[in-house]
Amino acid sequence: MVEKIIEFLSRQPPFLGGCRLKVDENQAQIKYREKRKVVFIGKSWVFITVITTLVLNVKNVLPSINSKKLIFNSTSIKIMLLILLVLVVMIILWKIFHSKYSPIETWKVENLLRKFTEEADLLRNHDDSFAQTKSVKWIYRIIRQEIHIALMTGGHVNYEMEKDIPRRLQGFLIKETGEKWFLEDKQFKEGRIEIIFSHEEDKRIVIDDLNKLKKSVLVNIQLTERLFWNITKQPMMAVIGKTGSGKTTFIKAIIISFLANNPNNNCCIIDGKNAFLAQSGRFANIPTATTAEETLNLLDDAIIEMEKRYCKINKNQADEVDTTYVEKFPNEGNILIVCDELLALSSATQAQDKLKKPAERLMPQISERILSLIVKSRQANITLVVSGQAFPATLLGDSIAKSNMGALIYLGRPSEIQVQQFFGIGLKDLPQVDTSNYGGLIILDGISDVPKKFISPYYDDEKLPFKKTLKKLSQAEGEAHSLR
């Protein structure tokens, strides 16, 4: 009884954060119980009304006989009718608020979860036999227009069924409400499924004004209206996509956002195709590499800078604070290394390496240095963005490199093999994405463990010419550029 009261009270106020819901009855049982309650309340009302009316009119019996005229006190009936009216209004309001048409989202979700529990067969008619489910527990809350729902699986949901619940719940909510429900995220934890819905899709951001871009010591680049790339938490990024999928536009947005974030931030470019990014880098007079030899020199400079930064961080061995370089030296700035079309560089370099002795081959040295930076440079605030149509197996085929990528982005429509290699899951497990307008998939470490829909930022070249803007921002750095 105490548990029932606590559970009842915990889900009433929709403004006090998370609500808990325990479903231990199917709809037929609920209707039967409600019918019995209505009958009980009706009988009680009639009984109390009759008793109070009789009690109030006992004293009127003799006066009525003497006057040969009925003397009747209707006060009790009026009070009881008023009570009945109040009860009816409260029940009607309860039904409205706890329905799929509820004006309060939290209570609407409660009613929908009750119905889904039965429709998905999560709750079975139970008895005292072994392995029968007796209750299903949900936790739900509304945060910044997002609906967070958690199902405590507790052993009554098998693995295959567990993976399918977010999709089934989304379809059920759309069917029942006639509204749009977008599956923003899903995570499977031990004994718990966490799902996030919204009624509006995430929206694209437009990079058309430097003054609109976020400025801070620690880089936190806005990717969409809801998603931010926190370089401190997710220091390395991998971007893959076919020609025309929007990779170059995305990288332009990242570079400009990064440099506009802090005048002390520095950038350098590796362009395996010696194309637009390489031309832009040279025009802006920032370190740019297009050949294997130039790439190796640039990466060597980055590793030297990384080691210098670590020496500076660890200079005081008695310092107890475990922090990043820029947090300790905020005037130094972050470093961004953009490695675009690495596969093209790898293919050309490996063709040349065949003519060289094993010890003189450049591609293994390049891969080793990139891997070293990916694994070790986070605390030194050196960030790598690696992009291309695909990645060399010598680099991102390495599980260590992939596990250290805090952001994985696929632009365009992937194939089954690409999805398996990049995300480690099957194509059928991905959300449906509109790739006609530079859409794709993203995993941000610490935010989502599975791919979610992603809309690439739009870089407006007319309002913010890339080469001219890049040169302006790089000149603002002055002598601060560490790798120049």
Please state the residue numbers annotated as binding site for ATP: 241-248
Annotated binding-site members = 241-248
**Which residue carries 């010696």 as its tokens?**
274
Q: Are 250 and 244 in contact (CB under 8 A)?
A: no
The DSSP-derived string for 324-389 is -HHHHSTTT--EEEEEESHHHHHHHHHHHHTTS-GGG-SHHHHHHHHHHHHHH-TTTTEEEEEEES
Q: Which residues pair with 239 in a beta bridge?
A: 387, 409
Question: Helices 276-283 and 466-477 sit at what angle, rounded to 10 degrees?
Answer: 40
How many residues does this entry show for the chain? 484
Query: Which residue has 């941000």 as its token pair?
Result: 444
**DSSP letter, residue 310:** H
Is the separation of the CB atoms in 50 and 40 below 8 Å?
no
484-407-348 Cα angle (round to 5): 55
Q: What is the per-residue burial (b if ≥16 Cβ within 10 Å, else e) of 104-130?
A: eebbbbbbbbbbbbbebebbeeeeeee
Given a contact cutoff of 8 angstroms between Cβ atoms, the answer to whether 278 and 467 are in contact is no
- Amino acid letter at 40? F
Q: Which token pair is 412?
A: 């365009």
Q: Quick one: which of 338, 259, 287 has its CA closest to 483?
A: 287
Q: How far apart are CA 250 and CA 233, in angstroms?
A: 20
In angstroms, the CA 265 to CA 481 distance is 8
d(CA 148, CA 140): 6
**Opening angle at CA 107, ends 104 and 112, nearest 5:** 120
What single-letter amino acid sits at 146? E
Rg over alpha carbons for the chain, rounded to the nearest Å, is: 33
Sign of CA dihedral 117, 120, 125, 131: negative
CA distance linking residue 229 with residue 383, whole number of Å = 12
Q: How far is CA 177 from CA 22, 107, 144, in A?
A: 22, 13, 20
CA separation for the pair 420, 430 (Å, rounded): 11
